[in-house]
Structure 1
Amino acid sequence: MYHAENLNNKVRLFLSILWPIMVTQLSLFAMNLVDTMMSGRVGTDDLAGVAIGSSLWLPIFTGVNGILLAVTPIVAHFIGSGQKDKIAGAVTQAMYLSVALGILVFVVGSFVLDPVLHIMNLDTGVHHIAFHYLVGLSIGIIPLFLSNVLRNFFDGQGFTRITMFITILAVPFNVLLNYGFIFGNFGLPALGGIGAGYATAITYWIILLVSIWMTFRLTVIKHYRLFVKWIMPSWKAWKEQLSIGIPIGLSIFFESSIFSVVTLLVGIMFSTVAIAANQVALSFTTLMFMIPLSISMALTIVVGYSVGGGKLKAAKQYGRLGVWGGIGFLACGAVFLFFFRESIAGLYTTDIDVIMMAGQFFIIAIVYQLSDAAQSGLQGVLRGYKDVKAPFLIALTSYWGVGIPAGYSLAAFTPLGPFGLWIGITLGLTCAAIGFYIRLQIVQRRFELGEN
């Protein structure tokens, strides 16, 4: 990575970092997409069960990974300021932290999972599939968190192609494992939607093992001597990482959890068809969101590197480039989504009622995705400045103070039904985008005045 001196070079550098992240994110999401599509081919109960299980897991997964995402700006700042000697220690401490968090999630989940599912009063078949899908997935929790630390370590240095290669390599394994465990091929038991959890967990182990192998094989990485030179766990180092990571993790948790809460509310308030339709629409729109999410992650890297090197003008230019790029992409995607919404839903299920309802969800999604692109990009810029506490408060207020209450009210007390929940999401994301924009102006002004 280098400090680009003109706009054209900045665009080239940004794109060179962005496109591998984009391929990585799309590949990671492809695993979830395969889970959903293959489960949907088994039956509506399997699709709904995987939807509920995924909705419970998603906020935990994204929240913890958000905490570990602190590695990216920390490494980027060290690189930008010429302090490479501090990187290995920070990454090793993050690996210790990831294992501790993985154990915590596993233990807490073993106590609360079944009671939470009982509260939802699901159909017996849906409850059974959701529970055992998550049991299977739990086998891969610790390797998933460990591999994400290594990913953030690679990405923070601008080596985004490494994680791209690893993820692309893992996707075919995930597809074959799903094909085996869901439908009973290759001599494996036919577990239906439950099998998707086991397939994904095994894939997480594959990703970890390949990531570790990379730290020994690549010249640009192996001099850090990860997994060779160990240091003692340090609460002081954990505290520093958590001071950055917890606000990031909570911000991501509150964002991802609104989608999960919407799915859970649909499950409690409406029919199995509504659950399945909601999952179809959410699955495809999340696939589209992988582009602005990738832009957000790239922004954290280039902005963090620029700020660490004292290049504040460059940091602002990268911010404008990335935020508007994400909005522009989803604006184009909205046109495609409008005209092909029912055809897209047909890729997930043959149930005509699910297809028609999912098409209506897609129409609302066209609006909320623009706000989602804006808020995601702005958060990526703020993380590059290591500004995370105020964005957390903005996220909490917007998503849970506006989005969820508004959505529930519209769903429960108006004829909008489940569609009211998605309108609430739109309102929450829009408020977040406005709040993050205002905060970014304040942060940039402080840095320019030397008050950071």
Structure 2
Amino acid sequence: MHQTTTFKEKIRLFMIILIPILITQVSMYAMNFFDTIMSGQAGASDLAGVAIGSSLWVPVQMAIVGILMAMSPIVAQLTGAKEEAKIPFTVQQGIYLAIGLGIIVTVVGLFLIDPILSLMDLESRVQHVAKYYILTIGTGMIPLFVYNLIRSYIDGLGHTRISMAIVLVSLPVNILLNYIFIFGKFGVPEFGGIGAGIASALTFLVNLILSIWIVHYVRPFRDHRIFHKLVKPSVSEWASQLRIGIPIGFSIFFEVSIFSAVTFMLSAYSTNTIAAHQAAINFASFLYMIPLSIAMSLTIAVGFEVGAKRFRDARTYSYMGILSGIVIAFLAGGIIYLLDDQVASLYSDQAEVISLTKQFLYYAIFFQFADAVGAPVQGILRGYKDVNITFWMSLVSYWLIGLPSGWLFANYTGLDAFGYWLGLIVGLSAGAITLFGRMYYLQHKLAKGAAIK
């Protein structure tokens, strides 16, 4: 990261940060994308099982990753304030925190998986795949969390191409492992959808090994000597990071888990409906990687400028990012509308699943516009370290507005299962509007304070 003086320089620097993050996020989600597609080729029950397993696993994963994302604005602001000497201690404590959170989630998950699945009215094969998909992917939880902490540190310094390189190496590894474990190749038993969990866990380990090697040996990261001399764990530093990370993590959890809650409610419908819902939500989430990448880039750029107290520059980056998200939303919506047949056919060759998937995809078009504003604004607020208000806004928008309205649409109109998706659109839109209002208020408050000084 470096200071920019003209709008053209800001666009150039923003794109330098954004493009590698976008490639990284798309590649990381491509792992889940290929898990879903390849599991679907193994059968509708395997696709539905992975859908249920993902609906339980992904919100937990994203919540913890969100907590660890606090490292990006912390490092960005330290860099902007020219206090880089504090970075090694901060990153080491973040690694300890990632390991601790991984252990806690693993232990709790082992006790809860059976009771939760027993509450769902699932076919026996679907329940079997869901359970062991979660158990196998869960073995890679600690490597995943530590990798994401290291990645947030790397990205916070503005070296987003490094994260991109790591994922571009690991993606083909994940596809190969999926092929081996899902379909039983090279003497390995055929695991079906469960094999996707095994492949993902091994890929998480590959990512961790690559990231440690880079931080230890490659400049400028090796100059921080992160792994040369480990310090003792500091509970006070953990608390400091958690104060920023927990609101971020739970904001993400509220947004992601509402999709899981819908999957849970759709378990009362047929296996084909669950499979179609998962296929459509998988593709919509794949497109969501674009506004999410914009959000992550904004966290770094805004955090750097806020650390240097250049609030006007931070605001310029903010609106640049939001405008980019809106443009992308029109493009993404057009892709879904024009290529609905091709997209649906990627996930299944069963006529009913394809037909239902196409109907779900039409609702996904409207997701794009809510995410075009909501996701970038969340990234902006993280750059300001303004995370507590967004936590409450996310809770209200997604769980007190979105999910109840979806239940009403599904049960008291003719929309049936599609009513839940309409509720998702309502919740995401409410979140985008309230978050934008918070950003506008905060920026004007800071601008006014700077003018007084």
Band the TM-score falls in, shorter-chain normalisation? over 0.9
The equivalent of 1:51 in structure 2 is: 51
- Alpha-carbon distance in 1 for matches of 2:148, 2:335: 32
- Alpha-carbon distance in 2 for matches of 1:35, 1:290: 16
SS of equivalent residue, structure 1 residue 404? helix
SS of equivalent residue, structure 1 residue 346? helix
Are 1:45 and 1:125, in contact at CA under 8 Å, matched by a contact in 2? yes
The equivalent of 1:174 in structure 2 is: 174
Amino acid at match of 1:440: M
The equivalent of 2:435 in structure 1 is: 436
Q: CA deviation at 1:413?
A: 2.1
Are 2:277 and 2:360, in contact at CA under 8 Å, matched by a contact in 1? yes
Are 1:144 and 1:204, in contact at CA under 8 Å, matched by a contact in 2? yes
- Alpha-carbon distance in 2 for matches of 1:401, 1:369: 21
Identity %: 45
- CA deviation string 1:346-381 (max 9, x = no partner): 011101101001101111111122102210011111
Amino acid at match of 2:399: W
- Alpha-carbon distance in 1 for matches of 2:449, 2:253: 32
The equivalent of 2:39 in structure 1 is: 39
- Alpha-carbon distance in 2 for matches of 1:367, 1:110: 37
The equivalent of 1:228 in structure 2 is: 228
Q: Which moved more, 1:335-344 or 1:6-15?
A: 335-344
Are 1:49 and 1:127, in contact at CA under 8 Å, matched by a contact in 2? yes
SS of equivalent residue, structure 2 residue 224? coil
The equivalent of 1:423 in structure 2 is: 422
Amino acid at match of 1:415: G
Amino acid at match of 1:182: I
SS of equivalent residue, structure 2 residue 2? coil
- CA deviation string 1:111-136 (max 9, x = no partner): 00011001002100000000001111
Q: CA deviation at 1:415?
A: 1.5
Are 1:342 and 1:358, in contact at CA under 8 Å, matched by a contact in 2? no
Are 1:68 and 1:245, in contact at CA under 8 Å, matched by a contact in 2? yes
CA-based RMSD: 1.0
Q: Which moved more, 1:441-450 or 1:11-20?
A: 441-450
Are 1:251 and 1:391, in contact at CA under 8 Å, matched by a contact in 2? yes
After TM superposition, the structure 1 = structure 2 runs for residues 135-284 of structure 1, keeping only pairs within 5 Å, are 135-267=135-267, 269-284=268-283
Amino acid at match of 1:66: G
- Alpha-carbon distance in 2 for matches of 1:447, 1:356: 51
The equivalent of 1:13 in structure 2 is: 13
Amino acid at match of 1:398: S
- CA deviation string 1:406-425 (max 9, x = no partner): 00111122211110000000
Query: Is it true that 1:107 corresponds to 2:107 in the alignment?
Result: yes
Q: Which runs of no fewer than 5 residues in structure 2 stay unpaired?
A: none
- Alpha-carbon distance in 2 for matches of 1:308, 1:226: 22
- Alpha-carbon distance in 2 for matches of 1:375, 1:236: 32
- Alpha-carbon distance in 2 for matches of 1:441, 1:336: 31
The equivalent of 2:96 in structure 1 is: 96
SS of equivalent residue, structure 1 residue 445? helix
SS of equivalent residue, structure 2 residue 339? helix
Q: CA deviation at 1:446?
A: 2.1
- Alpha-carbon distance in 2 for matches of 1:264, 1:366: 22
The equivalent of 1:81 in structure 2 is: 81
Q: CA deviation at 1:249?
A: 0.4
Amino acid at match of 2:271: T
Q: CA deviation at 1:448?
A: 1.6
The equivalent of 1:394 in structure 2 is: 393
Q: Which moved more, 1:337-346 or 1:394-403?
A: 337-346
- Alpha-carbon distance in 2 for matches of 1:123, 1:296: 39
- CA deviation string 1:197-216 (max 9, x = no partner): 00000000000000000012
The equivalent of 1:359 in structure 2 is: 358
Are 1:288 and 1:330, in contact at CA under 8 Å, matched by a contact in 2? no
- Alpha-carbon distance in 2 for matches of 1:150, 1:140: 16
Are 1:139 and 1:201, in contact at CA under 8 Å, matched by a contact in 2? yes
Amino acid at match of 1:120: M
The equivalent of 1:132 in structure 2 is: 132
SS of equivalent residue, structure 2 residue 317? helix
- Alpha-carbon distance in 2 for matches of 1:125, 1:373: 38
The equivalent of 1:380 in structure 2 is: 379
Are 2:312 and 2:447, in contact at CA under 8 Å, matched by a contact in 1? no
The equivalent of 2:116 in structure 1 is: 116
- Alpha-carbon distance in 1 for matches of 2:339, 2:209: 40
- Alpha-carbon distance in 2 for matches of 1:123, 1:83: 56
Are 1:18 and 1:295, in contact at CA under 8 Å, matched by a contact in 2? yes
- CA deviation string 1:32-65 (max 9, x = no partner): 0110011000100000000000110111010001
Q: Which moved more, 1:404-413 or 1:379-388?
A: 404-413
- Alpha-carbon distance in 1 for matches of 2:234, 2:448: 34
Are 2:374 and 2:428, in contact at CA under 8 Å, matched by a contact in 1? yes
- CA deviation string 1:53-80 (max 9, x = no partner): 0110111010001100100000000000
Amino acid at match of 1:286: S
Corresponding residue pairs, total? 451
Q: How does the TM-score come out when normalised to structure 2?
A: 0.98
Q: CA deviation at 1:450?
A: 3.0
Query: Is it true that 1:289 corresponds to 2:265 in the alignment?
Result: no
SS of equivalent residue, structure 1 residue 198? helix
Are 2:178 and 2:195, in contact at CA under 8 Å, matched by a contact in 1? yes
Amino acid at match of 1:151: R
Q: CA deviation at 1:227?
A: 1.7
SS of equivalent residue, structure 1 residue 417? coil
- Alpha-carbon distance in 2 for matches of 1:183, 1:335: 34
- Alpha-carbon distance in 2 for matches of 1:297, 1:65: 13
- CA deviation string 1:122-157 (max 9, x = no partner): 100000000001111011000000000000000000
SS of equivalent residue, structure 1 residue 449? helix
- Alpha-carbon distance in 2 for matches of 1:410, 1:168: 42
- Alpha-carbon distance in 2 for matches of 1:261, 1:378: 24
Are 2:332 and 2:368, in contact at CA under 8 Å, matched by a contact in 1? no
Amino acid at match of 1:417: D
- Alpha-carbon distance in 2 for matches of 1:448, 1:37: 48
Q: Which runs of no fewer than 5 residues in structure 1 stay unpaired?
A: none
- Alpha-carbon distance in 1 for matches of 2:214, 2:188: 31
Amino acid at match of 2:243: S
Q: CA deviation at 1:93?
A: 0.5
Q: CA deviation at 1:426?
A: 0.4
